[in-house]
Amino acid sequence: MRVTERETTKGSSNAHVRWLHAGLLVCGLSCTDDAAAEGDASSATQGTGDSDGASATDSRGSADGSTGASGASNTATDGNTDTDSNGDSNSDTNGDTEGSDYPWIPGIAGTVQDELPGAEPLACEWDWTIRLLAPFPNYGAGHAPRRMYFASCDADTPSPRLLSSYTVGPKNTEGPIDETSGGLTISALNPETNALEVESTHHFPECKSMHGVAAAGDCSTVAALCRIENTATGWDHDAIAEHPNADWLTNENECGNTNKMNDHMWLYEWPDGDLSKEPTKVIVHKSIGSWEYGQNTLRYGEDDGTYGIALKTTTGPTGNCHEADSFMILDRSDFSFITDRGWDWACATGHTTHNRSAYNPATQMYAMLCSTDWNDDGVPGQSAISFRMENASSDTEFHYSPLYSNIWIKGGAGPLLPRPDGGFLGLIVGEPAPIVAGYDDTIPVEVGLVRFDASGNQEGDIVWVASHDDSYYAWPQIAPLGDDRYLLGWGAGLRVSDIGRGDRDRSLRIPWTYWLMEIDGQGNPLTEPSEMSDVGWGEVNEMVPLGTGRVAWSYAPDAVLAPETAEVPDCNQDSLVHYVYTSETPPP
């Protein structure tokens, strides 16, 4: 096929804003019921999280009389919002912040994009998508929208931008193949309303799906990954053809489902940041397909002129279909791979289930948090979570998860962030205690925080920052808010007390509720956990900072199981919500 002309939609006439939540209760390093009681009950959840960050509130928001965090939920805004987000806040949240001409309005605003590229709905996940708690093994079994990727730029301006990469197309219930294509939406913060406004939407009908997206700090360069037919023409550079291991990176054999193999991955780059123009197209891999293990992320090393491209691949010798990954560093100056950085094949031992990458500008180094379905010592029933720097010859295993079968794993690697000192901060999902092989439903998983120094050495023990005796906590999110402050998110899935009720598998794939809390870099809580009644996110999607004190992401509007019936929301939803979270604590 030949790359076809793209469709670009300007403006935000097809978007509207909903003010969803009125902020989180700020308690410093320790929150108590007495402190929570002083705040307006409509604006904070009075949770039971311990001050050391070891646990969070009940997933149903009922522990110790906790109240919903959505007192202002579904309140429409018309651009002149003046809602006081916390009656007892230490500052006027609708007044100007010091040194700023714009109001600081804590809470979450969601901008609903009603028209998606090609007038198509959000695409559903592939069959055989690997999750943190349970796979989607059958045709038509995908419950959630297909994975999305985000980037931000212009963070130091009043109107930072969110770039959202996603896939559209209806589900094919007759077989494994959905007719899908790629989309990108650029939205910008309106500093008067603290909400995002859609600036432009771009359709890529030649791409089967869109993946990682990255941008220069000032938005002057934008890039994204496009999964495309292996017969596509019209590329400008073939980085694989010049690679010394090109034969391993070019696997045209059909692996797994014959209707899904083998695609290529192209890098699209807009060197002037104008997505209405034709991008530079670079072939960055020729062995993409089979089962949907792992992620396809793109990081921009702006300081050293590189892209870090982390892909789930079937790299290997001719006829080999090993489900692993490639993490390759591309030189922007000539679109060639730097072969002494990264790796061609496999972050760790086994099949790569999750490969979460990050770039640290302080050291100009990439790193990866990785999980696989096996381990270095070959212990049966045990999968490994590992950390690996770009220049390391092998990974370092630091935690293990129960392995039920070769792909059904109870936990894995979550998002990874750079730290200002050159180190990294990441999240994992798993069991804190020594694991038992298999899938014991009665032992919930928790969200853990782990730190690494600039050399890749683990610092201290894993801090289990979100846990509950009755609920599986997964869907992990972490994003920087500035000054050693982070937004932590998780979803509450399977409830041990509900085992046998008949909705086990659904609640391992879609949560009952989502939660947010601010923490510091050691995992100490800075706010109470708050239940998000109208807000959700993808299990392996990654929120991004939108300047100091703000975080942004996009997702489908309906994201949770129905409370009583456990009905699964439609993955083919017709709209996309662009969220911005504004912290109660404004920039200094």
Lowest mean pLDDT among 24-33, 488-497, 515-524: 24-33
pLDDT score of 76 more than 50: no
Q: How far is CA 229 from CA 118, 281, 286, 301, 495, in A?
A: 19, 14, 10, 28, 42
For residue 183, which amino acid is it?
G
Of 162, 189, 196, which is closest to residue 17 (Cα–Cα)? Answer: 196
Q: What is the pLDDT of residues 241-262, one digit of tens each?
A: 999 999 889 876 666 555 556 7
Return all residues near 564 (Cβ < 8 A) that are at least 6 apart: none
Place of tokens 């309106």: 190
Q: Please give the structure tokens belonging to residue 459.
A: 């610092």
Query: How many CA atoms, within 13 angstroms, populate the side-chain half-sphere of residue 127?
Result: 18
234: left (phi over 0), alpha (psi -120 to 50) or beta: left
Average pLDDT, the chain: 83
Q: What is the pLDDT of residues 135-147, one digit of tens each?
A: 766 655 668 999 9
Percent of the chain residues past pLDDT 90, beyond the cut = 63
For residue 151, which amino acid is it?
A
Cβ proximity of 196 and 111 under 8 Å: yes
Q: In the prediction, which pLDDT does 65 show?
A: 29
Q: In the prediction, which pLDDT does 291 show?
A: 79
Alpha helix stretches (DSSP H) within 433-562: 504-507
Mean pLDDT, residues 537-548 taken together: 97
Q: How far is CA 95 from CA 76, 193, 306, 582, 588, in A?
A: 20, 12, 42, 14, 15
Cα separation of 100 and 84, whole Å? 18
For residue 127, which amino acid is it?
D
Cα-based torsion angle of the residue sequence 484, 148, 410, 529 in order, rounded to the nearest 10 degrees: 40
Lowest mean pLDDT among 90-104, 205-219, 388-402: 90-104
Q: In the prediction, which pLDDT does 316 show?
A: 76
pLDDT score of 50 more than 50: no
Q: What is the pLDDT of residues 501-515, one digit of tens each?
A: 877 888 988 999 999
Q: In the prediction, which pLDDT does 155 show?
A: 95
For residue 103, which amino acid is it?
P
Cβ proximity of 412 and 430 under 8 Å: yes
Q: In the prediction, which pLDDT does 323 show?
A: 84
For residue 61, what pLDDT band results from cuts at 50, 70 and 90? very low
**φ, ψ for residue 553, nearest 5 deg:** -170, 175
For residue 484, which amino acid is it?
D
For residue 359, what pLDDT band results from cuts at 50, 70 and 90? very high
Q: What is the pLDDT of residues 104-125, one digit of tens each?
A: 999 999 999 999 999 999 999 8
3-state secondary structure at position 235? coil
Alpha helix stretches (DSSP H) within 16-172: 33-37
Q: In the prediction, which pLDDT does 135 show?
A: 75
Q: Please give the structure tokens belonging to residue 242.
A: 């010049």
Lowest mean pLDDT among 4-13, 44-53, 196-205, 274-283: 44-53
Cα separation of 358 and 204, whole Å? 26
3-state secondary structure at position 466? strand
DSSP state of 524: -
- How deeply is 482 buried, as exposed, middle or buried, from its count of CB atoms within 10 A (0-12, 13-18, 19+)? middle
Q: What is the pLDDT of residues 145-159, one digit of tens each?
A: 999 999 999 999 999
Neighbour tally for 494: CB within 10 Å: 26
3-state secondary structure at position 111? strand
DSSP 135-200: -B-STT---SBPP-EEEEE-TTSSS-EEEEEEEE----TTSS----EEEEEEEEEETTTTEEEEEE
Q: Please give the structure tokens belonging to residue 295.
A: 């992620």
Cβ proximity of 292 and 260 under 8 Å: no
Our measurement of the distance from residue 396's CA atom to the centroid of its chain's CA atoms, rounded to an integer in Å, reads 23
3-state secondary structure at position 505? helix
For residue 577, which amino acid is it?
V
DSSP 275-290: TTSPPEEEEEEEEE-S
Q: Which residues pair with 266 in a beta bridge?
A: 226, 283
Lowest mean pLDDT among 55-59, 110-114, 541-545: 55-59
3-state secondary structure at position 238? strand
Between residues 580 and 175, the one the model is more confident about: 580
Q: What is the pLDDT of residues 272-321, one digit of tens each?
A: 999 999 999 999 999 998 778 889 999 999 999 999 999 999 887 766 77
Lowest mean pLDDT among 30-44, 251-265, 334-348: 30-44
Between residues 177 and 116, the one the model is more confident about: 116
pTM: 0.86
Q: Which residues pair with 44 in a beta bridge?
A: none
pLDDT score of 325 more than 90: yes
Cβ proximity of 30 and 48 under 8 Å: no
Q: In the prediction, which pLDDT does 7 show?
A: 52
Cβ proximity of 356 and 368 under 8 Å: yes
DSSP state of 525: B
Q: What is the pLDDT of residues 84-104, one digit of tens each?
A: 333 333 333 344 444 568 999
Q: Which residues pair with 69 in a beta bridge?
A: none
Of 265, 207, 195, which is closest to residue 582 (Cα–Cα)? Answer: 195
Q: How far is CA 93 from CA 42, 103, 190, 493, 579, in A?
A: 15, 7, 16, 33, 19
Between residues 22 and 163, the one the model is more confident about: 163
| Strand 237-238, strand 280-288: pairing | parallel
For residue 187, what pLDDT band results from cuts at 50, 70 and 90? very high
Mean pLDDT, residues 462-475 taken together: 96
List b or e across 88-111, with b for residues whose CB sees 16 or more CB atoms inside 10 angstroms.
Answer: ebeeebbeebeeeeebbbbbbbbb
Q: Please give the structure tokens belonging to residue 12.
A: 């935000």
Give the full edge-to-edge strand order of the sheet including 324-331.
Answer: 297-301, 306-313, 324-331, 336-343
Cα separation of 77 and 404, whole Å? 48
pLDDT score of 397 more than 90: yes
For residue 534, what pLDDT band results from cuts at 50, 70 and 90? confident
Q: How far is CA 302 from CA 142, 359, 362, 363, 550, in A?
A: 36, 10, 11, 12, 22
Does the bond joining 524 to the residue before it have cis omega, within 30 degrees of 0?
Answer: no
Q: In the prediction, which pLDDT does 137 show?
A: 61
The sign of the torsion formed by the CA atoms of 534, 540, 541, 546 equals: positive
Between residues 163 and 87, the one the model is more confident about: 163
